[in-house]
Chains A and B, each alone.
Chain A
Amino acid sequence: MSRSSYLGDDTIALHSGYQPESDHGSRAVPIYQTTSYVFDSVDDASALFNVERGGHIYSRITNPTIAVLEQRLAALEGGSGAICTASGMSALFVTFFSLCSAGDHIVSAAQIYGSTVTLLKHTLKRFDIDCTFVAINDAEALENAIQDNTKLVFCESIGNPGLEASDLPMISSIAHQHGIPLVVDATFATPYLCKPIQHGADVVVHSVTKWIGGHGVAVGGAVIDGGNFDWLASGRFPTLTEPYAPFHGMNFWEEFGPSALAMRIRCESMRDIGAAMSPQNAFLLLQGIETLNLRMQQHVENAKSLITWLQEQDAVAWVNHPDLDHNPSQAVAAALFPKGAGSMLSFGVNGGREAGAAFIDALQLSSNLANVGDSRTLVLHPGSTTHSRLNEDELAAAGISGDLIRVSVGIESIKDIKSDFANGLRAAAKTAEKLAQQG
């Protein structure tokens, strides 16, 4: 098993990456709200710039508060290192940007976040990086989609919002047979529910805005380098295995091995693109990560209870969650997410999209907004919002029907969530009745 800490997850979440003997004994991680760092001498500055020693130069590239979060995330996921970014989308971008160049190709799951589809299908296309979307658990389709110029396979551990659990051992096995890495967006699961590196993933990406932060107060992203992929043996990654001119011909694989990708992202993407997390956000996200395990237990428990309750309601047409028997990935979810496959669920009400809109508009406790993973319960109609830029075929491939309501189940008292949903379902039923009368 690939590890990077011998502490338990609960301890890692509270302590990893920071010890209080410096920083005036501050028990909490201090916020280094500074752009830059005084050098000991000209030689010291030179050594830092030339990667002759570790340390901080400028907060676009590294910052002590952010470094604590990075090291904590790397420890939780069992990676060799991590880079935090301004958002989950920038984490994805710097990962793709560091592994791919013009003329390259990506194979991606079709069931993924709408903005990620846009990035892969349109934005990267402008840089001559193509993407083929496949049903990711279809081994034959995946195998057939991989080309000579494919640089990576991408999926979400639990697809958004189709809620299909990705068969990471199978997907990584096929990717590795072709000498390419598996990149997994593990936002919906967090390392509490599933550690993708243990199941064959090579790079893990998070929108830490969501459950890891958990309180809806800070946007951020992270890339965790799994450290297991042999970039040299693959022969497909000149960005990691050939000299990099801006750093005097640095060869990241030769010099840093298991942390080659993380170091490349640090040295190139953070410097040239500058999608840096703010120290204040890193501090807020660290407050969240400290209670990640406790919150995830409550998220999962509430989700299970709400699913059972929804299935009993007459106004509900269908319910979807990876743990449910009719979900096509139920067996995968049971194997990879033994504590439960997260707190995202989707459902439809009788009466379709209009009744669904009535449901959402009638809610009071739950919030209608474009986010997931808040400690509060959130609802959204993806077809009108996050995935509204997809055409009908793309929506179908992503598993999004017109009546789909996405729910991110919070950690409020479950009786209050059910009461709120009951109000919504009454409104939905009235709308459905009107629609039926109109014929």
Chain B
Amino acid sequence: MYIEVNGQQTFVATGGKTFDARLPTVVLLHGSGLDHRCWALQARWFAFHGFSVFAPDLPGHSLSQGEALTSIEAMGAWLVDALDAAGIEQVHLMGHSQGFLMALEAAPILGDRLLSMMALATAAAIPVNPALIDTAKQNTSKAADMMLQWGFGSNHQYGISAVPGMQPIGIGQRIMANNPLAVDLQACNQYQAGNERAQALRCPVHLVLAKQDRMTPVREGLKLAKLLGISPTVIPNTGHMLPIEAPKESLQTMKSFIQTLN
């Protein structure tokens, strides 16, 4: 569906069902340079199992209009504006990589509206190599290649796919190469408030890490888990592109977590 957020047409994937703000809402937040399609399978499960799904493309990404937001803080504030525009009261936030940082920034604004939070393949801070940012500024496609070669785990480098016949690296490359990757990476690199925001969380939180993650290494995720006082789920044979690489395993953890809340 398309909604207007701050005067801009914004695309929000709803998992193949009409959005119903009366249902419990699962918000799925994509990572740097990506879009709602990294949640294609998980979104459909939630939408057909009693939830409403709200998976936006950030401004300037894929199907959404506007200029890309230049800070994680701005992304968090924008998310709350988007939820307000859709008339959504309470939410479960689930974020991949940058998407989790954005959720951290939305959390204090949402207050009691935030029912739970799930973090996938992420950490409290995501420093980015300046060389990658510079490459993304000059040649997004080349930077996308660097990220995908680094970001997907070993199985996917060998052409394995959770969806028969598809090539997730090829799909990711097409999406990232056409999105404002440099802006996203710079926003991640500059973000410093992750630990503080995480410590302030008062809702149930769970963390899913990828064993082969080389962009937000497991050790950084484990630090975040310790800070939050939780025991994370670590998925083997999977890299940073966790929602795409292991949709079945990540969904299993996502739905188990959210079902325990009910």
Contacts and interface: CB of A to CB of B under 8 A. Distances in A.
A64 interface: yes
Contacts of B170: 2-5, 74-75, 78-81, 227, 258
Interface string A1-12: 111111100001
Interface in B19-62: 35, 37, 40-42, 44-45, 48, 62
A1 B177 CA distance: 10
B16 A248 contact: yes
Contact of A75 (B37, B62, B159): B159
Given A5-B169, A16-B158, A19-B155, A228 B174 contact: yes
A153 interface: no
A257 B159 contact: no
B16 A74 contact: no
A11 B192 CA distance: 42
Given A16-B158, A16-B159, A258 B165 contact: no
Given A55-B164, A62-B164, A255-B16, A15 B169 contact: no
Contact of B171 (A51, A63, A81): A81
A439 interface: no
A33 to B, nearest CB: 16
B142 to A, nearest CB: 9
Contacts of A56: 164
A28 interface: no
B159 A266 contact: no
Contacts of B157: 5-7
B145 A266 contact: no
A250 interface: yes
Given A50-B48, A250-B16, A254-B13, A74 B167 contact: yes
Contacts of B164: 54-56, 62-64, 66-67, 70-71
Find the residue from A19, A62, A251, A255 having the highest chain B CB count within 10 A: A255
B44 A51 contact: yes
B63 A47 contact: no
B46 to A, nearest CB: 9
Contact of A7 (B48, B155, B158): B158
A83 interface: yes
B234 to A, nearest CB: 18
A192 B121 CA distance: 37
Nearest to A248: B16
B44 A52 contact: yes
Nearest to B177: A2
A105 interface: no
A17 interface: yes
Contact of B41 (A53, A63, A72, A258): A53
Nearest to A76: B159
Given A250-B16, A262-B166, A257 B41 contact: no
B175 interface: yes
Contacts of B197: none
Given A2-B170, A2-B173, A262-B166, A54 B17 contact: no
B160 A71 contact: yes
B167 A80 contact: yes
A259 B172 CA distance: 10
Contact of B165 (A3, A15, A70, A227): A70
Contacts of A70: 164-165
Interface string B55-79: 0000000110000000000000000
Contacts of A266: 165
Interface in B92-132: none
Interface in A22-79: 47, 50-56, 62-64, 66-67, 70-72, 74-75, 78-79
A19 B158 contact: yes
Contacts of A62: 164-165
B149 interface: yes
Nearest to B1: A254
A247 B111 CA distance: 38
Interface in B169-210: 169-171, 173-175
Contacts of A259: 166, 171
B159 A12 contact: yes
B163 interface: yes
Nearest to A227: B174
A17 B171 contact: no
B161 interface: yes
A257 B17 contact: no
Contacts of A255: 13, 16, 37, 40, 44
B247 interface: yes
B193 to A, nearest CB: 32
B162 interface: yes
Contact of A80 (B62, B158, B166): B166
Interface string A199-226: 0000000000000000000000000000
B258 interface: no
Contacts of B160: 17-19, 71
A17 B163 CA distance: 11
A17 B160 CA distance: 5
Nearest to B161: A71
Contact of B175 (A12, A64, A257): A257
B158 A51 contact: no
26 contacts: A2-B170, A2-B174, A3-B145, A4-B159, A6-B148, A6-B157, A18-B158, A50-B44, A53-B248, A54-B247, A54-B248, A55-B164, A62-B164, A66-B164, A70-B164, A70-B165, A71-B161, A74-B166, A80-B171, A81-B171, A84-B165, A227-B174, A251-B16, A254-B11, A254-B63, A257-B171
Closest 5 CB pairs of A and B: A4-B170, A16-B159, A54-B163, A67-B164, A70-B165
Interface of A: 1-7, 12, 15-19, 47, 50-56, 62-64, 66-67, 70-72, 74-75, 78-84, 227-228, 232, 247-251, 254-259, 262, 266
Given A3-B145, A16-B158, A81-B171, 8 more contacts: A2-B173, A4-B173, A18-B158, A54-B163, A74-B159, A80-B174, A254-B11, A258-B175
